[in-house]
Amino acid sequence: MVRDRNQPNSTHRVLVSGNYCHDVLIKDGVVLAETLGGAASFISNVFDGLSVPYNLVSKVGSDFAYSVPRDPIVVPNCKTTLFHAHFDSGVDGDGRQDRVLKRVSSCDPIKPSDLPESRFDFGMAVGVGGEVTVETMEKLLEICNTVFVDIQALIRAFDGVNGTVKHVALKESGFFHLLPRIGFLKASAEEALFMEVEEVRKLCCVVVTNGRRGCRVYWRDGEVEVGPFPTNQVDPTGAGDSFLGGFVAGLVNGLTVPDAALLGNLFGSLTVGQIGLPKFDFRLLQVCLTCPYK
Kindly give the pairing relationship between strand 215-219 and strand 222-226: antiparallel
Is residue 2 situated within a structural domain?
Answer: no
Residue 131: the pLDDT is 98
Is residue 25 situated within a structural domain?
Answer: yes
Split into its structural domains, the chain has a count of: 1
Is residue 291 situated within a structural domain?
Answer: no
- Any idea what the CATH number is for the domain that residue 35 is in? 3.40.1190.20
Percent of the chain predicted with pLDDT > 90: 70
Would you say the C-alpha torsion 238, 240, 241, 245 has a positive or negative sign? positive
Is residue 219 situated within a structural domain?
Answer: yes
Write the pLDDT tens digit of every residue in 93-104. Answer: 444 557 799 999
Domain of 158, in residue numbers: 14-278
Across 211-240, average pLDDT:
85
Write the pLDDT tens digit of every residue in 47-90. Answer: 998 889 999 999 999 999 999 989 999 999 999 999 999 987 76
Is residue 285 situated within a structural domain?
Answer: no
Is residue 9 situated within a structural domain?
Answer: no
Is residue 292 situated within a structural domain?
Answer: no
Task: Give the global pTM.
Answer: 0.88
Is residue 283 situated within a structural domain?
Answer: no
DSSP code for 3: B
Q: What are the residue numbers of the active site?
A: 241
